[in-house]
Structure 1
């Protein structure tokens, strides 16, 4: 009888209309809503045009005397750089959604949001569009610059077309907030906001900057987007995706090919994969550091990594990290140097170029003495360098306001050759 009375009492408590333990209320927030373009219109928007001014800096590649400069989301500028003292803008490839590119055997490979496209550049001033591989980068999206969340439910619906941009919209949503409960048997005793989760779902090879997400090894193009490594066979006229994407880590940002390994930069460290079997990349090791966005370059079994503050990675470290990778299964930290805010970097025959507080150039033959005054070769200030390609004693640097080039034939007397403007 006592048991029945207790059950009736508890039932009555739950039934009382004024005893709800939650409150429903509307909240307003701002979200990025995708802007779509019909797939047919998107894929037909490829044109080779007369040269136009470079309005915004992006990734860079160099091949056979020509520079290829991505204008993010818009296309690729072709620059005749056979005379680095007088670079000439000679063509523009209109290519929606472009961010990265690489070159092999007179073919320029580039991304176009979710697709891979390629061009015949035997005449670099007149690139010829040759083909497109559709839906090979399904996670690729235009960047957002305002910090607001993305409406992924709409993004993932391919019936809407291709996402080519964002518009900010205000949303109003009913949210349930739970009150503290007076009883407790291991249940919740603090306020909790409930919301339905969203499911996220060999040949002649060019040189690319350290910020690149494209790398080439033998006959294969390797691409990294977010946490996926894609592999494409370039041995035939039409590139083929030869394997499923390989999950390689959280938000891989850059990739660098050295010997038979791929070195990938992530917000938490450098990951090394062996491509001894090119179609089956095999994890070797990871060297971790504080959160930071990091490109990596390698020479003579020494890896150089930069991390910087002021990015989405959300940390305050600014460093140059040097690592011995002679044993890729057990990389060894050599030294870490404080920097101002380093970005891209390059290494050529012991000379290290770092985009930091302008452009810093070091003698890196002994990594432990880079900061010795005798090893600081040059420091060009008052420019915001972003990435570099050192090649044949000419350094090509992309900065916020232009393409700067330097002759480092004599590393003790490095001199500027030219500047090709970017922006107004």
Structure 2
């Protein structure tokens, strides 16, 4: 009898387990689509002009306008005639969000990599160097609340998602339920999208020239150095030799969003503060001043002894505050707020001499006479509710504006009555 007792017991257990109640679940998973690292690192090429679909950051240099196509690359427009900008090429750069230009070299992020691209001949651009895996591994945005499948970083970078319906039976009495990983998403708009305010090159020496970035920029250039915000760090690169960039390490920055360089000062707009760093000859940073504010998104532009920044609430940056602030930075070790102006949902801003442009979301574009910094709110020159922009760069009497409808240029010779001279519209999918 003992010889058959245990087999019978095992059989009984199997039958008993098979009779347990189960229930079916059905759910949708977003499975990642990959581009291999090999393909990513051979993807920088010229393409024929393509329609503008998801415009991101903007940049200006030498009568050319560079408009990021979010996660795809960069449109290049010849702006010799602002009334008729002509797209001359599209530079394919997978995973691109930010850019900066030093002389004839374009620096751009490409997913985890930093690439240097020779743009001396815009019809024949060439990648001249690349630093791999210097930025965190990130994935494209996806529907809020959606489950995503397992991401295998060894397969390459995630370039999209495929919906997959899963049918599964699980025990009724069980702690089991499908769990999927959560990843940090790439962002566009909340963080980071003048001639005096946004010169990303800071101080130039000799023949070195830099372009002009918008206030939502996360890249900044100073002399031989490139600074790039990435997650909670400010990456620091030596780009003196564009064919052999060097990674110089990083600085830990609390909640950074935007970077702006003015003379030898680097300003970080964070969602709880504006921090001022001084740049020495070796490109190293020393913190000099800090001004804390309520938690909000925070792009910054600078003019002389003053910094202008906006706070936007109701976003991932927190709070419900929507304001324009002016800081007196004549003593950079002790910046002092001297003015507050109520806003609706401000994004980027730009300044030209004493003319300040603020992109106030659904409430349109606002123009202020900034000569009297303490009472700037009392000196609004114009309010254009039909111009709903995310960022603006004033250059040589023209205002470059990027918004959901596309890229526009406005003549602001009469700031109370600015006029659109051209539009490159967003094309539907």
TM more than 0.5? yes
Q: Is the 8 A contact 1:140 1:225 kept in 2?
A: no
* CA offsets 1:369-404 (integer angstroms, 9 cap, x no match): 2222xx222222223201111112211111111212
Alignment of 1:170-181 (within 5 A): none
**1:247 aligned residue:** 252
In structure 2, distance between residues paired with 1:57 and 1:49: 17
Unaligned runs of 5+ in 1: 1-25, 178-194
* CA offsets 1:94-116 (integer angstroms, 9 cap, x no match): 11100000111011111101111
Alignment of 1:215-230 (within 5 A): 215-230=220-235
**1:103 aligned residue:** 101
Report SS of the residue matched to 1:253. Answer: strand
| Structure 2 CA distance for partners of 1:301 and 1:88, relative to 1, 3 Å | same
Q: Supply the RMSD in Å over aligned alpha carbons.
A: 3.0
| Structure 2 CA distance for partners of 1:56 and 1:233, relative to 1, 3 Å | same
**Which deviates further from its counterpart, 305-314 or 44-53?**
305-314
TM-score, normalised via structure 1 length: 0.80
Alignment of 1:13-412 (within 5 A): 34-137=32-135, 139-148=136-145, 155=151, 158-166=153-161, 202=204, 203-250=208-255, 252-356=256-360, 357-372=363-378, 375-412=379-416
Report SS of the residue matched to 2:374. Answer: helix
* CA offsets 1:323-374 (integer angstroms, 9 cap, x no match): 11122221111111110111010011111011112211111111222222xx
Report the CA distance between 1:123 and its aligned residue: 3.0
Report SS of the residue matched to 2:409. Answer: strand
Report the CA distance between 1:147 and its aligned residue: 3.2
The aligned length equals 376
* CA offsets 1:294-336 (integer angstroms, 9 cap, x no match): 1111111211111213422232211111111122221111111
Unaligned runs of 5+ in 2: 1-23, 185-203
Report the CA distance between 1:128 and its aligned residue: 3.0
In structure 1, distance between residues paired with 2:88 and 2:100: 19
Q: Is the 8 A contact 1:141 1:164 kept in 2?
A: no
Report the CA distance between 1:28 and its aligned residue: 9.9
In structure 1, distance between residues paired with 2:248 and 2:126: 28
In structure 2, distance between residues paired with 1:351 and 1:168: 49
In structure 2, distance between residues paired with 1:348 and 1:59: 19
In structure 2, distance between residues paired with 1:318 and 1:333: 16
Q: Is the 8 A contact 2:238 2:248 kept in 1?
A: no
TM-score, normalised via structure 2 length: 0.79
In structure 2, distance between residues paired with 1:336 and 1:270: 15
Report SS of the residue matched to 1:343. Answer: coil
In structure 1, distance between residues paired with 2:262 and 2:31: 40
**Which deviates further from its counterpart, 234-243 or 214-223?**
234-243
